[in-house]
Amino acid sequence: MAGRAAQSGRVRSDGTHEGFLRHENFRWLKIATMMSLLALVSYLLIDVQPRHNGGSWFGYTLGTIGVLIILWLSLIGIRKRKMSRGHWSLKAWTSAHVYLGLSLIVIATLHTGFQLGWNVHTLAYVLMMIVILSGVWGISVYATLPKVMSANRDQTTEAQMLASLRSIDRQLHDAAQPLDQNHAELVRSSLDQDPFGGGIIRRMANRYATCKTRQAHDEILVIMGSQPGGKDDPLEKVGSLLGRKRAILARTRKHLQLKAMLEIWLYLHVPLTFALIAALVAHIVSVFFYW
Amino acid sequence: MSFLIRQISRTSDGREIIRAYPHDVREIIIGREASCEIHLADLAVELRHARLTLQANGKLDVVALAGNGFEVDGSKTSQAVIDPAGGSELRFGSHLLVISVDDGVVVITAERIEVLSDSTQEKDEIGLFTLRSIMPSRRLMAWALSIIILLALLVWPIHTFYNYQNAEKRPAAFHADSLWSSGSLSSPHAGLGMDCQSCHTEAFVAVSDSSCVSCHEDVHDHADPKRLKLAKAPLNWDGKISRKIAETFSRPEGRCVECHTEHEGAGPMEDTKQQFCSSCHTDMNKRLTDTKIANAGDFGTAHPQFKPEVITANGSPPKRERISLDQKPLEDSGLKFPHDVHLSRTNGVARMGQQFGFGQALDCKDCHIKTPDGVQFQAIDMEQSCAMCHSLGIEKIGDTVRTLRHGDPKMVVADLRAFYRAGGPYRVRTRQVMEGRKRPGSYARSQPYYAYFGSVNYSRADSAIRSVFSKGGACYDCHTVITPPAGSDNWQVQKVHQTSRFMMKGWFDHAAHDTETCSSCHAAKKSGNASELLLPGIKTCRTCHGGEASNADVPSSCAMCHSFHADDGAPWVPKFDMTRKRDLSKARVENIKVRT
């Protein structure tokens, strides 16, 4: 899945694509791996008494490296708003961001010395891990979902999705004019409802249990089944329009679900980064305060 | 003409289109049906929704024709009479009908005031297709979380610290700075968990020894600090880095907490690691050339032979010296005692033991009684452990046996003189004394033992006194007797010194060795002389004990036997009674004193 993301990069001078993961032949993957291995080997070789913890000289070293990496990683928020090319292109920066971020899993975990508890120190660690894991989630959805999304969209744009929905609503409105009130109400409930309403959970799960369009369509199908009408029966027309609206809604909702999944990681990644920096401030100050 | 219907619609660019339909009737129908005079293309409107009747008095009668009513000036009803001249608003579904009069004609202006469907209204498309519409903004979340964290985990704990800085004691409750604790305190310090300031007395200043000694008053230095510094092994590279960092961040060297680390989790305090001792002691004589302490780095591989403190000259006080067991030191305790004879299973001692109910033979425990804590043994008491066989009885008066007084030679002399002075029936009395059962070989049922005198002229006190103090006599067998010049009665017995602890620099706990028999370490059965030290050498210990990192049955760091803060008690081991309550508030009071 990483491969997909890697392919969707800038076109290089030799004509091949190179994504941020693959940047410069995995330069930052190599650097981050070396850093992690170095930390791990040092951890195993250096004898800290009575056991490894964040408060030994080795612990402080790892902690200092960790906090510097975290601060640098968070600068991507500023960096991405400024374009530049070459060595420190945004792609290089992103590549480093990803791999150095992953190396923090090793560096910070060793910094803890596996001593965790209900305190400010572990809070900072847990926040960092959530930020990293949300980033991993982000990369994986960026790698997989666009393909699913374009298959779902099938050449339609978002504007077209909404336009066709509006069009079908107008047609429904017109077609329902001759209907008696009971049937007209069904159509009206479909027209009045916000078909994409509800919170993040409904959108991510793509479950719209109270969808009036679906209910109206189902009911009209039942009615038509019991009183089959002719070709000119307005109910027939309304039924088929509701069926079309249902299909448009299904596609649009799927699209919304995929977009939500593409986006949601940033709602963890970014705010929790700031929460992490706040927790790090508390963590570091507390260590020196009760020195 | 009675009605003028003006229907307003809008083009896609918002332009108004007004169509006017005059109706010269007194009654018109409002509904969704195309045949209605007021045709409202509105699904919320019934096919034939309401009827408007213009009455003779010029008023309008509005009646709903189906279940759904309508609104008149904002209130819902199914029937209303309105005065067109006064103007009015009727609401049917999404349509608003404004009624007025113009030149005697009732003008009804109908206009859709709500959108046709939810999707047809203006929407923020970017908002719809992103999470912005349904999630709080990232910026807001970032600020909120950061502020909450800083308030709860930084401001609140700091406030707690300054709030209680001059307080004698914190109330027993949750205190926010405990959120800073990097791990639980060890069990002896568990009571201090919510009172960070019992140790962390000043902000940004490292924990100092004054916090520790405010409770641990008796702790003393391991050695002269100057010599201690000399003895230290040169730091290796990581030690140097560590030292440098500590100096940079003002953490003084040699504080209690360097070894006694805290916040390492609940349970006993961390055992001191062997390396802590061995870093100095492995090759200490290189740096501390005048030291008398032999090098030791590991119990299993680098530890000198034990040097028990033995009495080399019995005097007052006795001369004690630490001599290596390799030199087979002898102890001059002042006592003559063959262990082998007393532990034999076949000789007269065994026979006597059997008669007294000690089983097949005497056992160590028949004489050696443990101290209450089980660590050591009580001193042997002659009356309790020896006198049953080694009787000092001289005379039987009724059922009572008169004895010579043990430990008081002058009284022995006096008693014997008194015995002879008492007179007849002289023969009977002396026979009883001198010829009573003397030794296990001359046992006779139901007869008491008497002190033995060896060869003696039974008729004279002088002779009896000399005999009891001389070879073959009761005193001489066990004690070293200092013979007086001829004609003097000043018989003296050398004082007996029983050593309860030989290993003065280490600690041996017999209770911890309950699984062993006495003879697995002490070769008492083969010892014929009380001066022989029956202490096992290091080789014996090493059958079970090895260094901290060894594969021995009992890996043993230095701290198992040696105490850094050595005193007469057991070394610090992490198994002392954690449940006992200590008055930890004392620590606070002392700390306040230190602070102010």
List the pLDDT tens digit at each of the 596 positions of chain B: 588 999 998 887 878 899 999 988 889 999 998 899 999 988 889 899 999 998 888 888 999 988 788 999 888 998 999 888 888 899 998 999 999 988 888 899 999 888 888 877 777 777 788 888 888 899 999 999 999 999 999 999 999 999 998 887 888 889 999 999 988 888 888 888 888 998 998 888 888 888 888 888 877 778 887 888 888 878 878 778 778 878 887 788 878 888 788 888 888 876 677 888 888 899 999 998 998 889 999 999 999 999 999 999 888 888 999 999 999 999 998 898 999 999 998 888 888 888 788 888 889 999 999 999 888 999 999 888 888 888 888 777 777 778 889 989 999 999 888 888 876 556 566 666 655 555 544 444 455 567 767 666 666 788 888 888 888 788 888 899 998 988 888 899 998 999 888 988 888 889 888 888 898 889 898 898 889 999 999 999 998 899 888 888 888 888 888 888 776 666 655 443 333 333 434 433 443 443 33
Considering only the beta carbons, identify the residue of A176, A275, A291 that sits closest to B145. A275
Taking the C-alpha atoms of residue B221 and residue B272, their distance in angstroms, rounded to an integer, is: 16
Check whether domain B3-115 has CATH 2.60.200.20, yes or no: yes
Residues of A in Cβ contact (< 8 Å) with B32 = 177, 184
Categorize the per-residue pLDDT at A112 as very low, low, confident or very high, splitting at 50, 70 and 90: very high
Across the interface, do A267 and B138 touch by the CB < 8 Å criterion?
A: yes
Q: Where are the domains of chain B?
A: 3-115, 142-270+574-596, 393-493
Taking the C-alpha atoms of residue B110 and residue B51, their distance in angstroms, rounded to an integer, is: 15
- Expressed in angstroms, the distance from the first to the final Cα of chain A is 46
Taking the C-alpha atoms of residue A135 and residue A105, their distance in angstroms, rounded to an integer, is: 12
B62 near B50, Cβ under 8 Å?
yes
CA distance B323 to chain A (A): 35
Report pLDDT for B454: 66
β-strand partners of B183: none
Q: What are phi and psi of B270, to 5 degrees?
A: -60, 135
Structure tokens given for B579: 């449940």
Taking the C-alpha atoms of residue B531 and residue B318, their distance in angstroms, rounded to an integer, is: 14
Buried b (16+ CB within 10 A) or exposed e, B198-210: bbbbbeeebbbee
Residues 6+ apart with CB under 8 A from B506: B306, B561, B562
Across the interface, do B183 and A117 touch by the CB < 8 Å criterion?
A: yes
Torsion of CA A39, A40, A41, A47, to 10 degrees: 90
pLDDT surpasses 50 at A7: no
Categorize the per-residue pLDDT at A226 as very low, low, confident or very high, splitting at 50, 70 and 90: confident
Residues making up chain A, counted from first to last: 291
pLDDT-above-90 percentage for chain A? 56
B356 near B348, Cβ under 8 Å?
no
Strands (E), B330-441: 393-397, 400-403
Residues 6+ apart with CB under 8 A from B317: none
Across the interface, do A120 and B180 touch by the CB < 8 Å criterion?
A: yes
CA distance B539 to chain A (A): 30
Nearest of A208, A188, A211, A187 to residue A199 by alpha carbon: A208
Report pLDDT for A250: 94
Taking the C-alpha atoms of residue B18 and residue B106, their distance in angstroms, rounded to an integer, is: 17
Q: What are phi and psi of B61, to 5 degrees?
A: -105, 120
Residues of A in Cβ contact (< 8 Å) with B134 = 198-200, 203
Nearest of A226, A228, A244 to residue A175 by alpha carbon: A244
Taking the C-alpha atoms of residue B69 and residue B81, their distance in angstroms, rounded to an integer, is: 14
Instruction: State whether residue B534 is helix, strand or coil.
Output: coil
Q: Are strands B554-555 and B545-546 parallel, antiparallel or unpaired?
A: parallel
Nearest of B320, B364, B325 to residue B342 by alpha carbon: B364
- Report how many Cβ contacts below 8 Å link chain A to chain B: 187
B104 near B84, Cβ under 8 Å?
no
Report pLDDT for B549: 85
Q: Supply the ipTM of this predicted assembly.
A: 0.86
Report pLDDT for B1: 53
pLDDT surpasses 50 at A120: yes
Residues of B in Cβ contact (< 8 Å) with A171 = none
Nearest of B501, B529, B496 to residue B315 by alpha carbon: B496
Q: How many CB atoms are located within 10 Å of the residue B28 CB?
A: 21
Report pLDDT for B428: 62
